[in-house]
Structure 1
Amino acid sequence: MRLTRIGGPTVLVELDGWRVLVDPTFDAPGRRYDFGWGTSSRKTIGPALGPDEVGPVDLVLVSHDHHADNLDDRGRTFLREAGRVVTTRGGARRLGAESSVGPVDGLRAGEHVTVAAPRAGLPDLEVTATPCRHGPPLSRPIVGEVVGFAVRRAGEARVALWASGDTVLYAGLRRAVRSLDVDVAIVNVGGVRFGLTGPLRYTMDGREAVELIALAAPRVAALAHYDGWSHFRDGEAGLRRAVDGARPEIRDRARWLVDGVAVEV
C-alpha cells in the first residue's frame, strides 16, 4: 500500500491497483469557513498537490460533507471526476442532489457496500462505515453525522485500510476498533476546540490517539488532520508529545507522513 498525504485529512491511498482518496480538500489557505452555531476556522496550510497532480481516482471516501476542512469547494468539484463516492446517509442525499456528482453511496455506522473493481485484475472492495462522534456527548444533532471507513478486499476478514474520520474517543468507537483486524489505519487527530464552546473538544487529541492506536493495534497508524487549520488546539505539537511519550510498540506503529510524498507502508 502507498499513502500520499495531501494536507489536512486528505490522503491518497493506492491499494492493489485502486486509487482511493480520503476527504478531498484542495482550497488555498487564508479563507475563514463557517462551521455553524457561531463557530468558524481559518485554513492556514494549502494542499501539497492540486487536483490535476493527484490525477484520476476510483473511489472517494467522504467522512462528512458539511465541514469544509473535510470537503471544501475544490474538493466538491473533484468529486465530479470520481468513479464512486461513499459517505454518510445525509451526505449522499446532499451530494446526490448535485447532478454532476455521482454515483454516491450513503452509509450509517455498521452498514457496508461492495464497490466493483473499476479495471480487470483488481479485487472488489467492501467498504463498511465505522462509528464517529464529532464532539462531546449529545452533540450529534449539532455537529452532524460523521463516519469512518473500514475497507476490505471482498471476501477477506482483515481490514486493509481503516480511516477513522473526525471523532473523539468514546465507548462506541472503542467497541468498534476492538472488533477490527486492521492492517493500515489513518487516524485523524488535532484536538479541535472553538473559543465559543470553551474546553469542549470535537476530535481526538494526542493522548486519545495513542489510546486508540493501542486498542486497534494496526500494523501502521498514519497520522492525519492535526494541522493546517486554526481550530486545532492540540495540533502537531501535542500529538508529537503524546506519541514520543507512548510505549515503544505504539511509537513503532505511528507513521508521520510528509505532505506530497508517497510512502510505501
Structure 2
Amino acid sequence: MIMLRTIPFDEPLAARLKMGPGDGVSLYWLGQAGFVIDADGRRIVIDPYLSDSLAVKYRDAAFSHERMVPAPLTPDQLGPVDLVLCTHHHSDHMDGETLSLLAKRLPELNFVVPSASREFAMQRIGLDASRLIEVDAGDRKTIGSLELHVMRAAHETLERDEAGKHRFLGYGMGFGNVRIFHSGDTMPFDGQSEEIKAFAPDLALLPVNGRSEALRTSGFAGNLTLAEAITLSGRCAIAAMIAHHYGMFAFNTIAPDEIDNAAEQAPITLHRARYGIEFRLDGA
C-alpha cells in the first residue's frame, strides 16, 4: 500500500531542490497548481507560475493579480528539470516568463502541452514544435520513466478547439508502482469519476478554489469546490489528496483554515498544499 508522509523542512525550497532528485517519489508545491515531482532520479515540473506576469497584465483591472505571497523560488532555482507538463493555456499554468527561462537554461528540456495549445506554447515559451510533446485526452505515452495518461478536464466546460482537441487536460502520472493524478483546472462533469478511477491513483492533486457567478461573468473560469474535490477522491477510491489552487490571488481563493478543518472530518487523507513541506510517497 502506498502511504503519503509530510516531511517539514526549514531551508528555502531552492536549497532543498539543489540536492537534486533522489530515490522514491517526492512532491513540493510551487503555488497555485504548480508542483515539482522528484521520482527515482528524475525531476518533473507541472504548471509552474513563478513570475508576476499576471500582476502586470491585470494591473488596472477590477481584480488584482498581485501575489498574496512571493514565489517560493525563481525558475533558475528549480535546478535540473527533465520534463515540464502544462495542463492548459491559462497563464498561471502556462506562464511564458517562467517557461521561457527554463527553455533557455535547459536546451534539452521538452514540454508536454495540450495539442489545442500548441500555438500558445510556441509563442510563450519561444520554441518551435520540436521541443513540444503534444497530447490530447485519451492519449497514453511513455516519456522516460513516466507513464502518462491524459484525461479530460472541464474548466467550466469540456471545451475543444476547431479540430476537436481538448483545451483543458488532466494528467495521470505513473512512476513504477506509484500513481499520481493532477486534474488540471476542472469542475465536475459526466464520466469524470470513471475516467480517473480507471487510472487508480494513489494520490490526487485537486484544485479547491471553487467558482462563482461574479467571477464567471468577469471571464474567470472556476474549479472544484473543496467539498467536490473530497467527494471526487472518494468516488475514485483515491486514498489521499492534496488540495491546491488557493492562496495566490485574493479574489479567487479559499481560506487555509477551511481546508485544515475539513481534513479533520474527511473520509480520505486530506492535506493542504503548503510551502516548506516534502510530500513523500512510500510503500510497495
Task: Give how far 1:51 is off.
Answer: 1.5
Matched, 1:215 2:222: no
Q: Check whether the contact 2:245–2:253 (CA below 8 A) recurs between aligned residues.
A: no
Instruction: Note the residue ranges of structure 2 that are not aligned, 5 or more in a row.
Output: 1-24
Instruction: Note the residue ranges of structure 1 that are not aligned, 5 or more in a row.
Output: 117-123
User: Does 1 or 2 have the higher relative contact order (CA < 8 Å, sep 6+)?
Assistant: 2
Q: Check whether the contact 2:113–2:121 (CA below 8 A) recurs between aligned residues.
A: no
* Identity over aligned pairs, percent: 22
Work out the CA distance in 2 between the residues paired with 1:46 and 1:194: 28
Give the length in aligned residue pairs: 244
1:50 aligned partner: 74
1:77 aligned partner: 100
Cα distance change on mapping 1:90 and 1:51 into 2, 3 Å: same
Task: Give how far 1:203 is off.
Answer: 0.3
Q: Check whether the contact 2:260–2:272 (CA below 8 A) recurs between aligned residues.
A: no
1:9 aligned partner: 33
Q: Check whether the contact 2:148–2:173 (CA below 8 A) recurs between aligned residues.
A: yes
Mapping of residues 1-265 of structure 1, within 5 Å: 1-28=25-52, 31=55, 33=57, 42-44=65-67, 45-65=69-89, 67-80=90-103, 81=106, 83-96=109-122, 98-99=126-127, 103-116=131-144, 124-135=145-156, 137=157, 145-153=167-175, 160-193=179-212, 195=214, 197=216, 202-247=222-267, 250=268, 253-265=269-281
Work out the CA distance in 1 between the residues paired with 2:95 and 2:62: 16
**SS state at 2:199 partner:** coil
Q: Check whether the contact 1:205–1:239 (CA below 8 A) recurs between aligned residues.
A: no
Q: Which runs of 4+ in 1 moved over 4 A?
A: 38-41, 137-141, 198-201
Give the TM-score taking structure 2 as reference length. Answer: 0.74
Work out the CA distance in 1 between the residues paired with 2:122 and 2:159: 26
Task: Give how far 1:73 is off.
Answer: 3.4
2:8 aligned partner: none
Give the TM-score taking structure 1 as reference length. Answer: 0.79
Task: Give how far 1:8 is off.
Answer: 1.1
